[in-house]
Every structure is written in structure tokens, then in C-alpha cells.
Structure 1
Amino acid sequence: MLLIYGPYMPIRILEAIQDWKNQEKEHAVLIRSVVPELEPSFHQVLTEWEHVFAKTEETARGWLHNCISSDRRWDNSLLTQIDQLLGASVHQSEHFIQQLEHIKQYSQAVRHTSAAPFLCAHVVRESYVFVSVTKSLTSTPLAEAQANAAAYEQGHPAAYASAAVRPNDVTAAIGSRPLSQTFAAGEAIPPQSGRPPSSTATSQHGSPYAPLAAASQHDPPYAPQGVASQHSSPYAPLAAASQHGSPYAPQGTANAPPMAAAEPQAPAVEPQLRQAAPEEARPADNVYVPPGGHRLPPLPYPYNALEPYIDTKTMQIHHDIHHKAYVDDLNKTELALVEARRTGNFDQIKALERDLAFNGAGHYLHTIFWDVMNPKGGGEPQGDLRRQIEQDFGSYQAFKQQFSKAAEKVEGGGWAILVWSPRSRRLEILQAEKHQNLSQWDVIPLLVLDVWEHAYYLKHQNKRADYIKDWWNVVYWPAVNERYLKARQLKWAPF
């Protein structure tokens, strides 16, 4: 995280906490899925951590929705509470790391599951990265950072830059503000926040959720002053988190349980391999998806069909947990937008549009991803697609090398995408961070490669380049060619 975002620093911090806690929650689920014989006590610890991370994520999301929909200036009370949430998040991760190290050392099930020690080490490393990046921010209160933003808001970026906190200033102060000075000892944990995981590891280090004790026993964590007394959160449904509801589901809409609550289950009957059918063999398609009506598409092949290049467990988790989460959250967001249109209340429009982009792009890209892979894949493209690739990239090998490097160099989680540009009337290779950031509009995706770590870590650990090399063996060029033949029919004025 960059240390200086001017007046947007609180929003950037809340975004980081939301993404960070979501990842830690998924990591807790992933470890339990990979080690089905995990000892009951360790299984319980990870389950409780999952709930703690879910509560913190929802708290950050509620504050984020509140902040980006409000036109008022930041007040010190609000900034102090965001500071506390950041400190609590760091505190949680530090203890999560300690407990994971304990599990890795003492769990026989982890030691006897081939990928588990590597997975635990990776999860520890990821949480440590978040701690090392964000803990430095706890030494500089947001109120102080926001005070330095005044020059920026008045149109004097040079003055703002000279007044801003510099990385070296903050790095030197890492750990200089003890958590004991930030959070009062002995305060009660809000009942809706969930109990902290209990084990011999935590008993020596205190509650990982203790910093959230700043809230009263009846209010959501970090409810703003003046709002807490009314028993409502900055985003009203946040208080329903204890029932595992959506933070922005419309009233009267039933909330599905969180995706992390279920282990991936293999279907009773494995799906049959589905080949790309010729256009003339397909029935007329007059169906549309209503708001909130998206469904998880079935895999067009069994979970184990892409072995040895992509392992069975990864396919189960990737499809049944990760992709399903995008579908569920996309539906909830669309229904929330329907409710907003019905009531005329668009206070949360920025947050909802953000969620619409993230989950919608995640759902659509994954749907393409499953279709452009096949156990009968591999080889090289032929026909019109091959000629277009050679025309636009010089040769197939040049295209493959550029695509592979683009995928390898995506920063964090994201995608490499081969697209057709109706405007340029040629193929291009793009990157996307997360699912929707740092990419282009007005193009049609043809071939997509998911390089989020959940797509490859169980088999390839941190060797993304090896995963990419294996992936080329399952690329199903007939499906990519079919998408290309349809896409190239669309042409815009060439500017």
C-alpha cells in the first residue's frame, strides 16, 4: 500500500482491510479443505478465525460504503475509529500467523498431507506481507495524515507533497505505538463479533479480536458516534452480520449463507465432457438473465479431467467456492440495485457499483476460463485464428511468449486476456488486476488465464511460471476460435 493517498487515505485503508480479511478468511477455509483429516481442535481454531475475519471484513465494508457515499469531511472521531480498525486487523493477523505456525508444527494431519505444509507456509507469508505493509501506518494517526491533505485539496500538490509523511519517517516508527496504548484493556467484546479462536497459542498472546472491544456490547464494531446510540451501523445491514447476511441485501431478500461455510462437494455424477458445438447445431437463444438471476455454470468436464496439469482439489475449490462466491455476491448486488431504483435511495451507489464491477467481472471471466480449457486441449490454434495471431503478433511463438509473460507479471491476483478489438480490428493481450482493474474497454475477451494464487497454489506453490507452462497443455483452441469468429463480426469505426 502506498502511504500517501491524500484525502482518500481512509478509503484506501478500508479497501485494503476488506480485501486482506477476505483473503485470510479464504485461506482458513482452504487449509481445512486441503487437510480433511485435520485434528478437531485445529479445525475449530480455523473455523473460528474464519468467522472473525468475516466480521472484520464486513465492518470494513460497512465503513467503506458509509465513507464513499458521504459528502461530509472526515472528522477526527471517524478517523480515530478507522485507525482502531486498522490496528485490530494487524493484531488479528499477527496472532493468526502464530497459530498457523503452531498448527504447522504440531498437526500430524498437516505433516502427512503433501501440499499442506507448503500451503500453511504460503498463508503465513501472505499475512506477514499485509502486516509488514500496513503496520507502519498505525504509527501515524489518520487525523494527522488528513491534516496534511489540506494543501492538496486547495490545489497545491507541491506543498502537499512536502508536508506528507514519507516512507522512511513511517518505517522508522514501526512498532513505536504499542497496541496497549491504542486499545483499553478489559473491555467486553461485542457479542456479534464472534469469540476469538481459542488454543494454547492465543492464551499466551491475548484475544486477536480484542481491539474491536471499543464498541459497546450492543453496537456493531466501530459504529460512529451519534449513530451507535441508535443501534445502527454506518451501513444498516452490517449489524445482521451475525446471521451471515449480506451487508447490502435489500429488505425482504433472503440471504444465502456465506460461501466459506461449505466444503466443496463432488457431484453425485461427474458431468460429461462438453465440446464446443457448431453454431448451426445450437437452439435459438432468447433467454436473458434477470437481476439476481445469475447461476454458477457447471464445469464442462469432471474435476480431475485436467490432470496432471491442474489438480482435482484446485478445480473443486476454484469452481465450487471461489466462482460461486462471485455469482452469489453479484446476485446480491444486483438485487440491492433493484431495491435502490424502487425506493429512489442511491446513498450506497458507489459501493454497489464497485461490487458490481468486481463480482460481475469475476463471474464472467471464470465462465470463459472453464470453457477455454479441455482435457483434449493443447497444441496450437489453426485456421482463421492462427492467421490473425500471426498477422498481429508476427508468429504464434511470439504471441505465446508475450501472453505468458503478461500472465507471469500480473501484480497480485488477476488475469491475462487475449481480446479482439472491434475498434482496432486486431487482437491484443491485456492484463487485469483483481478482475476489472487496469484493463481496457470496448474489447471482447477470447482467451483468459486466471493467475490468482487460488488457481494454482496447491500444485505449483509460488511457481506461477510453471503453472502457466502447464496451462498451455489444456487450452482448447476450438472454443477460442469459436469466440474469435463471433467477435470479429463486430467492427466499430477505426479510430
Structure 2
Amino acid sequence: MLSTKVLAPSKQFARSLASLGGVRSKHTVPDLPYDYSELEPVISAKIMQLHHDKHHATYVANLNVAEEKLAEAQAKNDVSAQVALQAALRFNGGGHVNHSIFWQNLIGEKNGGGQLHDGALKTAIEQQFGSLQKLSASVNGKTAGIMGSGWGWLTLNGATGKLDVITTANQDMPSSVGHVPLLGIDAWEHAYYLDYNNVKVDYFKNIWRVINWKDVAKRYDDAVATYNASKN
């Protein structure tokens, strides 16, 4: 008999989607918290507009369609249709969640981009990696090694409560492997090609100039609090 576990998004996946508007409600593309030109010269306004208004919007549109079809299949108790929709839910749902984090992870240099201030996150980075420079080298090295499209991540490992550096393929989310996303680097070509052509290593190097460390630090504090509460 077919397991019903594959007939709906996982709890972690559902929570990620719910935080962006609810699994059964219509998803929308979040507004950018800055102008398209905010991240120049690291990321051009043209890329930001295409990336946000076209690519992210496509994930959202396709996710809404997939969830409508899932609801119809569940109402009809059509198990085969529910199973067939899982790939679309995972891909487009991940694309929506990952990009929604990505926009918040970035900020222009003139507004504090690239500046990691004293605090719990900085202490953890220095204890585990030695320095921010060594952390960025680790993230860039793993992200550059992705075969095809995907993401590089700084996460909180849900099993250990420690910082971790991982990659995910395509639009898979860190939550799918038990990690809490703190900082995501989009390694899809649409994120950099108009500016950097095939020299993606320059994109990976320069993006650290526009990281919104206040956002990453807040995600870290929340993730640590949740982890500690789960152990009590």
C-alpha cells in the first residue's frame, strides 16, 4: 500500500510555507525591502528586477497552481495525482521559501552590507571557523562545487545546534535535511550571469559585500532559542 506520508508537504516544509502565507492560502511574491539598484555594483538593478519579478514570481505562480491541484486531488481521494504533484510542490515551494530568505539576507553596502557586528553570531563564527573570512571561504568553496544549480547555505544544524555549511540542489531547502537556513547564496545562473557571465566565483566573492548580517544574526538567535527550547 502506498504510504500517505508523501501525499502532503512535510511538517518542516509546511511550516516554511506557512510562514510566508499559509499552505492553503494564495502565496504572493514579497516586496523587496530595498530598491532594485540597492546592491549595485555587486548585483545590478537589471538582475534584481528579473530575478525578483520574473523568476521568483514564476515559482509562486506554479506553487499556487500545484497546491490547487493537490487540494482537488485530496478532495477526490486521487492518490496517484497527489503523488505526481510532490515534485512540483517541492521545487516551487522551495523556490519561494529560498528566495524569500535571500532577499532579506541582502542589503547595500551604504546601508551596512557586509558588516558583522559583535554578538552571538560573530562569536559562534569565530569559535567554529576562526574568522568571517574563513567562513566565507568555506561557503564559497562548497557553493562553487555545486554540479548544476543550487544553493550554498550557512545554517544551524538541527541535530547539534551548531553552525554548519551545506549546499542544496535545485530549490531544495535546508529544512529538508534538518537544518535551519540562516544565510543563502543563490548559485543558479539567473542570479549572476548578466553581471558575471561564466565567472561565478567572482559573484560568490563579491556577494559578501552586501550580506545583511543583522538579518542573519536575528535568524541565528531565533534558531538557537528554538533549539534550546526543544532540549528542555
TM range (shorter): 0.7 to 0.9
Shift of 1:351: 2.3
Q: Please state whether the residue corresponding to 2:38 is helix, strand or coil.
A: coil
Q: How does 1:141-160 map to 2 (within 5 A)?
A: none
Counterpart contact for 1:423–1:493, Cα < 8 Å: no
- Which residue of structure 2 lines up, in the alignment, with residue 432 of structure 1? 168
- Which residue of structure 1 lines up, in the alignment, with residue 103 of structure 2? 370
- Which residue of structure 2 lines up, in the alignment, with residue 324 of structure 1? 57
Which of residues 120, 123, 136 is equivalent to 1:387? Answer: 123
CA distance in 2, matches of 1:460, 1:303: 17
Shift of 1:292: 4.5
CA distance in 2, matches of 1:320, 1:437: 21
Bigger RCO (CA 8 Å, 6+ sep)? 2
- Which residue of structure 2 lines up, in the alignment, with residue 11 of structure 1? none
Q: Please state whether the residue corresponding to 2:164 is helix, strand or coil.
A: strand
Q: How does 1:89-128 map to 2 (within 5 A)?
A: none
Pairing 1:461–2:216 present? no
Pairing 1:445–2:178 present? no
Counterpart contact for 1:413–1:433, Cα < 8 Å: yes
**Aligned-residue CA RMSD (Å):** 2.2
Shift of 1:476: 0.7
Q: Please state whether the residue corresponding to 1:425 is helix, strand or coil.
A: coil
Shift of 1:324: 0.4
Shift of 1:451: 0.9
Shift of 1:400: 1.3
Counterpart contact for 2:42–2:207, Cα < 8 Å: yes
Closer, same or farther: CA 396–438 of 1 in aligned 2, 3 Å: closer
- Which residue of structure 2 lines up, in the alignment, with residue 484 of structure 1? 220
Closer, same or farther: CA 287–453 of 1 in aligned 2, 3 Å: closer
- Which residue of structure 2 lines up, in the alignment, with residue 360 of structure 1? 93
The TM-score normalised by the length of structure 1 is 0.41
CA distance in 1, matches of 2:138, 2:38: 27
Structure 1: which 4+ aligned runs deviate by more than 6 Å? Answer: none
Closer, same or farther: CA 302–438 of 1 in aligned 2, 3 Å: closer
Q: Please state whether the residue corresponding to 1:327 is helix, strand or coil.
A: helix
Counterpart contact for 1:292–1:335, Cα < 8 Å: no
Pairing 1:315–2:48 present? yes
Q: Please state whether the residue corresponding to 1:416 is helix, strand or coil.
A: strand
Closer, same or farther: CA 290–386 of 1 in aligned 2, 3 Å: same
CA distance in 2, matches of 1:438, 1:483: 14
Q: Please state whether the residue corresponding to 2:74 is helix, strand or coil.
A: helix
CA distance in 1, matches of 2:216, 2:21: 23
Which of residues 143, 147, 154 is equivalent to 1:407? Answer: 143
Closer, same or farther: CA 287–406 of 1 in aligned 2, 3 Å: closer
Q: Please state whether the residue corresponding to 2:80 is helix, strand or coil.
A: coil
Letter in 2 for 1:291: R
Shift of 1:469: 1.3
Counterpart contact for 1:330–1:355, Cα < 8 Å: yes
Q: Please state whether the residue corresponding to 1:296 is helix, strand or coil.
A: coil
The TM-score normalised by the length of structure 2 is 0.84
Q: Which runs of 5+ in 2 are unaligned?
A: 3-18
- Which residue of structure 2 lines up, in the alignment, with residue 126 of structure 1? none
Closer, same or farther: CA 288–480 of 1 in aligned 2, 3 Å: same
Counterpart contact for 1:292–1:330, Cα < 8 Å: no
The number of equivalent residue pairs is 210
Letter in 2 for 1:405: G
Q: Deviation string for 1:21-63 (max 9, x for gaps)?
A: xxxxxxxxxxxxxxxxxxxxxxxxxxxxxxxxxxxxxxxxxxx
Letter in 1 for 2:156: W
Letter in 2 for 1:364: V
CA distance in 2, matches of 1:418, 1:287: 21
Shift of 1:407: 1.6
Closer, same or farther: CA 453–482 of 1 in aligned 2, 3 Å: same
Q: Which runs of 5+ in 1 are unaligned?
A: 1-68, 70-285
- Which residue of structure 2 lines up, in the alignment, with residue 475 of structure 1? 211
Closer, same or farther: CA 459–287 of 1 in aligned 2, 3 Å: closer
CA distance in 2, matches of 1:381, 1:440: 30
CA distance in 2, matches of 1:414, 1:287: 21
- Which residue of structure 1 lines up, in the alignment, with residue 16 of structure 2? none
Closer, same or farther: CA 485–288 of 1 in aligned 2, 3 Å: same
Counterpart contact for 1:422–1:490, Cα < 8 Å: no
Letter in 2 for 1:341: Q
Q: How does 1:45-64 map to 2 (within 5 A)?
A: none
> Percent identity between the aligned chains?
37
CA distance in 2, matches of 1:287, 1:436: 16
Q: Please state whether the residue corresponding to 2:72 is helix, strand or coil.
A: helix
Choose 1 or 2 for highest CA Rg: 1
Counterpart contact for 2:154–2:184, Cα < 8 Å: yes
- Which residue of structure 2 lines up, in the alignment, with residue 299 of structure 1? 32
Closer, same or farther: CA 422–432 of 1 in aligned 2, 3 Å: closer
Q: Please state whether the residue corresponding to 1:304 is helix, strand or coil.
A: helix
Q: Please state whether the residue corresponding to 1:430 is helix, strand or coil.
A: strand
CA distance in 2, matches of 1:320, 1:434: 19
Closer, same or farther: CA 392–452 of 1 in aligned 2, 3 Å: same
